Structure 1
Amino acid sequence: MVGIISVIFWVGILVVGYTYVGYGIIIYILSKLRERTNVLSSAPDEQLPNVTLLIAAYNEADIIRKKIENTLELDYPENKLEIFFVTDGSTDQTPEIVKEYPAIQLFHSFERKGKIHAVNRVMKSVKTPIVIFCDANTDLNREAIKYIVRHYQDPTIGGVAGEKRILSKDKDNASGSGEGLYWKYESFLKKKDAEVYSIVGAAGELFSVRTELFEEPAENMIIEDFYLSMRITAKGYRFAYEPDAFAMETASASVKEEWKRKVRISAGGFQAMAKLSYLLNPFRYGILSFQYISHRVMRWTLAPLFLPIIFIANAWLAFYGVPFYQLTMVLQVLFYGLAFLGYLLRDKKIGIKGFFVPYYFAVMNLSVYFGLNRYLRGKQSVVWEKAKRATA
C-alpha cells in the first residue's frame, strides 16, 4: 500500500511541478533552440494599415475621461484610426461623456446582455483590416498600436496580444502582490510561447485580430477573448505577442474582488476547454496542442486536482515514519501555514512582494473548484459585476 501511495505522491509532484515550473523551463529552452530571425520594423505613417480600436465600457463614468484622453494621445495617424466605444447597458453618465468627443464613435444600447453581445453587435460596423480590443479600465502606452500592427507584415499572423501590466506599489496587499507576480510570470510564458510558435490565449486587456478572421463567439461565452484567439490559432494562424505594447491597470482592490474574477475565469476555462476539445489532438495540431495542454489545460484541471491528493498522500507516508516524507510534510504544512497567514493579513500592506505568494497560489487553485461547480451548474452569467480595482 505504501508503494502505491508513494507513486501517487510522486505523480502528483511531477504534474504540479511541470505545470507551474517545468513547462516554463522547457518552453524557455525551446525558444532558445528556435529563435526567429525576422526583425520587425515599423512602417512609415503613410504605409500603416487602417485600424479600429474597440473599447467596451460599462458604468465607467468615474474613469472614462481618463481612458478617452489616453486613447486620443496614442501615436497613430488620425486618418487611419477609428475609435469605437460601446457602452451597452450603462446606467450612469458613461455614454453622455463619450458623446462629448467628436473623434469617437459611440455605440450604445439600453439593453445589457454582456460584453460579448456588445462586441458582436459593433463588429458589424468595423471596416478596417485590423481591429484592436482593450478594456476601459486600462491605459495603453503611446506606441502600442504601431507596435501591434507591425506583426501583420507576416501573413501567418492572425492576431497579436499585448502585455498586461499590473501597476505595482512599494507595499501591496495580497491581491496586489500576488496578481502582479503572477502576471510577470505569465508574460514571460507568453513571450516564450510566441517565440516557439504561438501564444495560447489572449487577455482581453489588449489584443488584436485580422478582422476577416473574427468569428462571433456564442453570446454565452464567458472568456471570449481566450476562445476567439484559440479559434484563430486552430485555423493555422499564429498569435503573436508584443511586450512593447502594453495595457496598464491596478490590481484588484482586494482578494475578495480578485476571487470573483478568478472563479469566473475558471468557469470560463472549463467552458472553453469543452468547446476546444479538438485542440487536444497533437497529431493534428502538433506544437500548438503541446502548448495548449501544458500552459492552459493542466493549470485548469490536473494541477489543482493533485494538490489535495499530494497533501493526503504525503500525510499517509509521513505517518509510516519515512524521514524524507516527514520532511516534505513539514514543508507542505509550512507552505499552507504561510498561505493561512496570508489570509489573515490579506488586506494589509506588506513590503515583501513574495510574502503573499503561497496565499495567492492557494486562492488561484481553489477558485478552479468553485469555477467548475459554477460551470457544471450553469450559474456563471456572461453579465457579471466587474471586479473593483485598487486606486492608483
Structure 2
Amino acid sequence: MKVIFWVSLFLLFYTYLGYGMLLFFLVKFKGKRKIPAPAPDSEVPKVTFLVAAYNESHWIKEKFRNSLELDYPAEKLELLFVTDGSDDDTPDQLRALSQDTSIRVLVEHQPERRGKIAAVHRVMPKVNSPIVIYSDANTLLNTQAIRNIVRHYQVPEVGAVAGEKRILQEEKEEASSSGEGFYWKYESQLKKWDAQLYSVVGAAGELFSIRTDLYENIPNDTIIEDFYLTLRIAQKGYRVQYEDQAYAMETASASVKEELKRKIRIAAGGLQAIYRLAPLLNIFRYGWLSFQYISHRVLRWTLAPLALITLFISNLALLSTGSLFYQITLAGQVLFYLAALLGWLLEKRKLRSKALFIPYYFCIMNYAVYRGLFRILGGRQSVLWERAQRKV
C-alpha cells in the first residue's frame, strides 16, 4: 500500500505541477529559441485562412468582420469558409458578406453533415497557398495573428504553429469561466515552454497553422483532428512552434455542465489519439517529443485520473499504521474533495466563490476522462461536434 500511495502521489504531482517545474528549469538551462521577426509585405508567403462553421449564424458576421481586419497583404490572403451541414442562414450570410471585399473569399457549403474533418478534407484540394491557418467560427483573433504565425515558417524545421487560446472573463466569474480561464492560462504557459524545449505536443483548433504540403487525410472518425494532425506532423520530424502573440479569444462555456460536454469529447479523442499514435510512446525513437507527449498529454488522459482513486484508497488503508503523516494527507484529500463538492453546490445555485472553482474544475476534468473512456470503449462518441453553449 505504501508503494501504491507514493507512486500515485508522484504521478499526480508530476502530471499537474512537476512537469511544469521541470520544463521551467530545462528551458532556463537550454536557453530560449530565437524567433524570426515578421518579414516585409513583399516577402511574406500566400496564406489561406480556413474556417469550418456549423450553424454559426449568431457568430459568423462578427467572425467575418474580424477576418477582414487581420493585418496581412490582401493580395496574399484568401478566406475559405466551409459550412457543411449548416441548416440555418450561415451560408447565406457568408455569401452576402463576401460580395464586397478586396480579399478573395470562397464559401463552400453542402447540405450533408459528416463532421469537421470530413469538411476540411473536402476543401483542402482548393488550397493553393504554402501555409494554411485554421480557426473556429466562434473565436476572434488579434489583428497581428497571421503575421506572427507566418514568421515561424522562416525556420525550415517548423511544420506547424499553434496559436494561443484566451478565455474572455467577466469581473464576476462563474465556475465555468474562472476554471476554464485558469486552466488555459496554465496550459498556455506549458505550451510556451514546450516549444522552447523542442515542440508543442498538439495544437488547439481555435487557432493553428500548418505547411499545406504536410497536410494528410487523417481518418474521418478522428475526434480531435487538430491535436492528431499536428502530432502527426511532429512525428515526421518537424517541430510545432507556439506563438502567444497570435491568439483566439472566445467566451467561456455557459456553465460547467456545458464545459463538461467539451471535456468528455476531448478526453475520448485524446484516448483515441493515444491508441493511434502508439509509436510516439517510444522515447528511444522520438526522444524529446516522446518525453513531452507522455508528460504533458498521455499521463493526463491515462494514469493521473486513476492515481486519484488509488491515492485515496491506499491512504485510507495506511491509516492503520497510526502515522500522523498519512492522517494529514487523507485530511487534505477529504478537504479538497469537500471544497469541490461545495463548489458544485454553489454553482448549481448560481453563487460564486473563486476559492472553490479550481478544485471543482479539476475534479470535472478528471471525471470527464472516465466518461470519455466509457464512450470510446462503447463506440458511442460521435465525430460530430455536440455544441456546448457559450456565454454571449
TM-score interval (norm. to shorter): over 0.9
* 2:152 aligned with 1:139: no
1:376 CA displacement? 0.7
2:263 partner amino acid = K
Q: CA RMSD in A?
A: 1.2
Contact 1:173–1:347 (CA under 8 A) maintained in structure 2? no
Contact 2:260–2:364 (CA under 8 A) maintained in structure 1? yes
* 2:5 aligned with 1:12: no
C-alpha distance in 2 between matches for 1:37 and 1:137: 32
C-alpha distance in 1 between matches for 2:351 and 2:154: 45
Match of 1:229 in 2: 230
1:41-85 C-alpha deviation (Å, 9 max, x unpaired): 111111110000000001010111011000111101110000000
1:305-353 C-alpha deviation (Å, 9 max, x unpaired): 1101111111111244321111111111100000000110125666654
C-alpha distance in 2 between matches for 1:35 and 1:349: 46
Contact 1:158–1:238 (CA under 8 A) maintained in structure 2? yes
1:95 CA displacement? 0.2
**Do the aligned partners of residues 203 and 319 (structure 1) sit closer, same or farther apart at CA in structure 2, a change above 3 Å counting?**
same
TM-score by length of 2: 0.97
C-alpha distance in 2 between matches for 1:352 and 1:143: 36
2:333 partner amino acid = Q
Contact 1:171–1:352 (CA under 8 A) maintained in structure 2? no
Match of 2:64 in 1: 68
**Paired residue secondary structure (1:124):** helix
* 2:53 aligned with 1:53: no
1:11 partner amino acid = V
Match of 2:282 in 1: 281
1:7 CA displacement? 1.5
Match of 1:263 in 2: 264
Contact 2:80–2:107 (CA under 8 A) maintained in structure 1? yes
**Paired residue secondary structure (2:37):** coil
* 2:382 aligned with 1:381: yes
Give the number of aligned pairs.
Answer: 387
1:40 partner amino acid = P
Q: How does 1:150-165 map to 2 (within 5 A)?
A: 150-165=151-166
1:150 partner amino acid = R
* 2:112 aligned with 1:111: yes
Match of 1:321 in 2: 322
1:272-311 C-alpha deviation (Å, 9 max, x unpaired): 0001000011111000000000000001000001101111
C-alpha distance in 2 between matches for 1:331 and 1:357: 15
**Paired residue secondary structure (2:42):** helix
Q: How does 1:1-392 map to 2 (within 5 A)?
A: 5-100=1-96, 101-102=98-99, 103=101, 104-347=105-348, 353-391=354-392
1:138-170 C-alpha deviation (Å, 9 max, x unpaired): 000000000000000000000000000001111
**Do the aligned partners of residues 312 and 220 (structure 1) sit closer, same or farther apart at CA in structure 2, a change above 3 Å counting?**
same
2:59 partner amino acid = I
Contact 1:174–1:348 (CA under 8 A) maintained in structure 2? no
Q: Which moved more, 1:6-15 or 1:315-324?
A: 315-324
C-alpha distance in 2 between matches for 1:250 and 1:202: 19
Contact 2:342–2:356 (CA under 8 A) maintained in structure 1? no
1:127 CA displacement? 0.4
Contact 2:132–2:210 (CA under 8 A) maintained in structure 1? yes
C-alpha distance in 1 between matches for 2:260 and 2:123: 30
Contact 1:343–1:359 (CA under 8 A) maintained in structure 2? yes
2:89 partner amino acid = Q
Q: Which runs of at least 4 in structure 1 moved beyond 4 Å after TM superposition?
A: 347-352
C-alpha distance in 2 between matches for 1:8 and 1:264: 30
Unaligned runs of 5+ in 2: none
C-alpha distance in 2 between matches for 1:319 and 1:72: 67
1:361 CA displacement? 0.4
C-alpha distance in 1 between matches for 2:323 and 2:33: 52
**Do the aligned partners of residues 82 and 151 (structure 1) sit closer, same or farther apart at CA in structure 2, a change above 3 Å counting?**
same
Contact 1:173–1:348 (CA under 8 A) maintained in structure 2? no
1:88 CA displacement? 0.5
Unaligned runs of 5+ in 1: none
Contact 1:15–1:302 (CA under 8 A) maintained in structure 2? yes
**Do the aligned partners of residues 321 and 227 (structure 1) sit closer, same or farther apart at CA in structure 2, a change above 3 Å counting?**
same
**Do the aligned partners of residues 161 and 354 (structure 1) sit closer, same or farther apart at CA in structure 2, a change above 3 Å counting?**
farther
Contact 1:172–1:348 (CA under 8 A) maintained in structure 2? no
Contact 1:54–1:83 (CA under 8 A) maintained in structure 2? yes
C-alpha distance in 1 between matches for 2:15 and 2:386: 30
C-alpha distance in 1 between matches for 2:307 and 2:356: 24
**Do the aligned partners of residues 349 and 168 (structure 1) sit closer, same or farther apart at CA in structure 2, a change above 3 Å counting?**
farther
